[in-house]
Amino acid sequence: MTSRGPVGTAALTLAVALGLGTLSPLPVARANEAAGTLAPLRTSATEARGAAPRLRVRTVVDGLAVPWDVQSIGGGRLLVTERDRARLSVVRKGQRRTVRFPGDRVWVSGETGLMSLAVDPAFDRTRRFWTCQGWQSGGGHDVRVSLWTLSGNARRASLVRHVVTGLPTTSGRHGGCRLLLDAGSKALYVGTGDAADPANPRTLTSLGGKVLRVHRRTGRALPDNPFIDAADPRQRLVWTYGHRNVQGLAQRPSDGSVVSVEHGSYRDDEVNALSPGADFGWNPGPGYDESVPMTDQSLPGEQTEAIWSSGDPTIATSGAAWVAGRGWGAYAGTLAVAALKAEELVFLRFDDDLALQQTRTPAPLRGLGRLRSVTRLPGGDLLVTTSNGSDDRILRVSPR
């Protein structure tokens, strides 16, 4: 595997002169490379869709500790999870209020705690939202997806039901877990981690190292799932497999396609274009040997290459959202990906067929600390959570 060379000096100078921020070397697009059609790098604003707007970054709320996810519940209010405190909060006008909820049942260990959130599009009427988190039960623990209702005064969350249980856990490493409500159906996608157990990603009866697709209320498999005829009911929930630790899921508004974002080992963070039944090729060896490729083509059957890969070293990609809405200009239609280790928000442009066109990291989106999750607000602004461990913030990124 080779990395594509850096952008030419002339192009870089042009980009800087145009105020585009720094153009990064194009990471390996292995699927394209294999086909011999690596797309040219766009180098000027005139080739992009309009000019790149200046970006404004504001702090929405501070004083948090590892806020894992944030979602709007309307009325200027945000629902926020904090992983290690297992705390659920509502934030409005910069003020945070704790929501009463059984946080003492949440299993917190290492990378696992109170993690992703999804909010019912009909929240105004239903008051419903979903979380995924570590959970203690019967002396053991798992990661599970749970459906809640928020009280009218937003002070208390009541469990409706656990929608999916039994996502595997070990030490808390690689606990996933990302939720995404499908825009066009009743499906809920659940991105899971492999729990640092080498058997999980390719064992179709394990819920670890997968993207699951379930009915959002019942947690049942959907009739068009790829393994719906499997004998084991867990396998019927599987949409894709061979994942390491899915940290992001995002659905492109233009065509409904869903991508996952996952952490690489020492190399190759990945953005993957999901298709039913696809194998994404992570198969750590005995003893969780992580020296194997992130997409190991030597495995039986077909393995699907990433549509973007960090190469070596990784940047520790996490959450992502597609950029849409007024004012985004040249950034419209890109995938905004948060990076923990690189402490930046990266915009990836793909063409209609999800072939990589360009990567761009605007200067205002660098050096903001470790970034965890990206959420697109109804108007198009992005919310980004930091993940430094203390004095964490929720940031709002807007085009000026």
**CB-side exposure of 258: number of CA atoms within 13 Å?**
25
Compute how many other C-beta atoms are within 10 angstroms of the C-beta atom of residue 5.
Answer: 8
Tokens linked to 73: 């519940």
Provide the minimum distance between the beta carbon of 296 and Ca ion in the complex, in angstroms, as a whole number.
8
Member of 294, 332, 336, 355 binding Ca ion (CB under 5 A): 294
Q: List the one residue out of 4, 20, 15 whose CA is nearest residue 309.
A: 4
Residues 163-222 binding Ca ion (CB under 5 A) are none
Buried b (16+ CB within 10 A) or exposed e, 361-375: bbeebeebbbbbbbb
Q: List the one residue out of 381, 328, 322 whose CA is nearest residue 54.
A: 328
Q: Does 384 bind Ca ion (CB under 5 A)?
A: no
Q: Mark out the alpha helices in 118-255 (DSSP H runs).
A: 123-126
Tokens linked to 2: 């080779």
Member of 71, 203, 295, 357 binding Ca ion (CB under 5 A): 295
Buried b (16+ CB within 10 A) or exposed e, 131-142: bbbbbeeeeebb
**Piece in contact with Ca ion (CB under 5 A), picked from 38-46, 107-115, 193-201, 289-297:** 289-297
Residues 264-283 binding Ca ion (CB under 5 A) are 280-281
Tokens linked to 291: 């020296």
Provide the minimum distance between the beta carbon of 276 and Ca ion in the complex, in angstroms, as a whole number.
16
Provide the minimum distance between the beta carbon of 171 and Ca ion in the complex, in angstroms, as a whole number.
23
Nearer to Ca ion by Cβ, of 185 and 297: the residue is 297
Q: How many residues does the chain have?
A: 400
Provide the minimum distance between the beta carbon of 248 and Ca ion in the complex, in angstroms, as a whole number.
14
**Piece in contact with Ca ion (CB under 5 A), picked from 36-44, 211-219, 249-257, 299-307:** 299-307
Provide the minimum distance between the beta carbon of 103 and Ca ion in the complex, in angstroms, as a whole number.
34
User: Given 3-state DSSP classes, what are the helix, strand and coil percentages for the chain, each rounded to the nearest 5?
Assistant: 10, 40, 50
Nearer to Ca ion by Cβ, of 221 and 339: the residue is 339
Nearer to Ca ion by Cβ, of 3 and 297: the residue is 297
Nearer to Ca ion by Cβ, of 89 and 240: the residue is 240
**Piece in contact with Ca ion (CB under 5 A), picked from 27-35, 198-206, 292-300, 351-359:** 292-300
Provide the minimum distance between the beta carbon of 27 and Ca ion in the complex, in angstroms, as a whole number.
14
In this structure, which amino acid lies at residue 255?
A: D
Question: What is the spatial distance between Cα 367 and Cα 229, in angstroms, rounded to a whole number?
Answer: 48
Question: Does the CA dihedral 220-225-229-234 come out positive or negative?
Answer: negative
Provide the minimum distance between the beta carbon of 309 and Ca ion in the complex, in angstroms, as a whole number.
8
User: Which residue in the block uniquely carries the two structure tokens 């979602």?
Assistant: 71
Nearer to Ca ion by Cβ, of 138 and 301: the residue is 301
**Piece in contact with Ca ion (CB under 5 A), picked from 21-29, 148-156, 297-305, 342-350:** 297-305
**Piece in contact with Ca ion (CB under 5 A), picked from 9-17, 93-101, 296-304, 391-399:** 296-304
Q: List the one residue out of 130, 106, 246 whose CA is nearest residue 188.
A: 130
Provide the minimum distance between the beta carbon of 290 and Ca ion in the complex, in angstroms, as a whole number.
13
Nearer to Ca ion by Cβ, of 11 and 299: the residue is 299
Tokens linked to 109: 């260990």
Nearer to Ca ion by Cβ, of 118 and 315: the residue is 315
How many residues contact Ca ion, by CB under 5 A? 6
Provide the minimum distance between the beta carbon of 31 and Ca ion in the complex, in angstroms, as a whole number.
11
Question: What is the spatial distance between Cα 52 and Cα 45, in angstroms, rounded to a whole number?
Answer: 7
CB 115 within 8 A of CB 68: yes
Question: What is the spatial distance between Cα 142 and Cα 137, in angstroms, rounded to a whole number?
Answer: 8
Nearer to Ca ion by Cβ, of 89 and 303: the residue is 303
Provide the minimum distance between the beta carbon of 241 and Ca ion in the complex, in angstroms, as a whole number.
10
Residue nearest to Ca ion (CB): 295
Nearer to Ca ion by Cβ, of 55 and 258: the residue is 258
- Report the interface residues with Ca ion, using CB under 5 A: 280-281, 294-295, 297, 299
